[in-house]
């Protein structure tokens, strides 16, 4: 069972105004939906590396 955003924040000692709960709930559900797409991703395919090659940034 997943925690609601209100319960999660309350467990961390963060008090949220009732007027902000609806906005936070929508954003929380959106983030959870995006996260669900990443659970089955192959981490090797998602790895991005940046290399610095001295003198290699010019175009010939």
Domain ranges within the chain, ordered by starting residue: 5-39
Name the residue with higher pLDDT: 36 or 15: 15
- At 49 the pLDDT is 76
- At 1 the pLDDT is 33
List of residues 6+ apart from 16 with CB closer than 8 A: 6, 9, 24
DSSP category for residue 57: S
Closest CA to 17 of 28, 26, 6: 6
Whether residue 60 has pLDDT greater than 70: no
Per-residue HEC secondary structure of 19-54 comes to: HHHHHHHHHHHHHHHHHHHHCCCCHHHHCCCCCCCC
Whether residue 2 has pLDDT greater than 60: no
List of residues 6+ apart from 11 with CB closer than 8 A: 3
Whether residue 20 has pLDDT greater than 70: yes
pLDDT mean across residues, the chain: 77
| Mean pLDDT score, 42-51 | 72
């Amino acid at each position: 069972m997943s925690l609601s955003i209100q319960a999660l924040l309350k467990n961390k000692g963060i008090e949220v105004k009732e007027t902000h709960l609806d906005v936070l709930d929508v954003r929380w559900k959106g983030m959870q939906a995006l996260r669900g797409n990443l659970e089955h991703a192959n981490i090797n395919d998602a790895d991005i590396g940046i290399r610095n090659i001295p003198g290699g940034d010019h175009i010939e």
